[in-house]
Structures are given as structure tokens and as C-alpha cells.
Amino acid sequence: MKITDVRAFNDTDLAERLDSAKQELMKLREKYATRQLEDTSQIRQVKRDIARLLSERRARQLKQMQGSK
């Protein structure tokens, strides 16, 4: 997922994607712990996607706060 894709999401889609990414990360960590995960780079990729989603959410919050002043 690229940052341009993330910026195109509305607020509800952003929250839904964030929740699903966190759930996916939990599943990947469980698979890693039980040695069922073959491609460990998936964990890093999902963590980066979560960071992108959180960054965009925070940027929108700051923009909204600037607009209300």
C-alpha cells in the first residue's frame, strides 16, 4: 500500500483498514511463533502499512485542529 492510496481513503475506510491491518499483524505474529510463517518480510510490510495509516490519521487530526483555530 502506497501513501497515495492511503490519502485517497475517507475516514471510515482509514479506520477499517487500520483495524484489519492490526488483526493481520496479530495473525502473522502467531504464525511466526508457531513456525508456520515462511515469508517473514510480511510482518515488516504490515507494520509499515500500519505506520502509514496512523501517520495519515494524525495528519488529518492536525489539519482539523488547525482549521478550528
* DSSP letter string, 10-55: -HHHHHHHHHHHHHHHHHHHHHHHTT--S-THHHHHHHHHHHHHHH
Whether the per-residue pLDDT at 13 is higher than 90: the answer is yes
For position 67, what pLDDT does the model report?
A: 84
Stretch 18-27: mean pLDDT, rounded? 98
Boundaries of every domain in the chain: 3-68
Q: Are 29 and 43 in contact (CB under 8 A)?
A: yes
Residues in the chain: 69
Q: Please give the C-alpha separations between residue 7 and each of 21, 32, 37, in angstroms, as whole numbers.
A: 16, 31, 30
- At the top level of CATH, the class of 3-68 is mainly alpha
pTM equals 0.91
Q: For 7-11, 44-48, 59-63, 64-68, which range has the lowest pLDDT when averaged over its residues?
A: 64-68
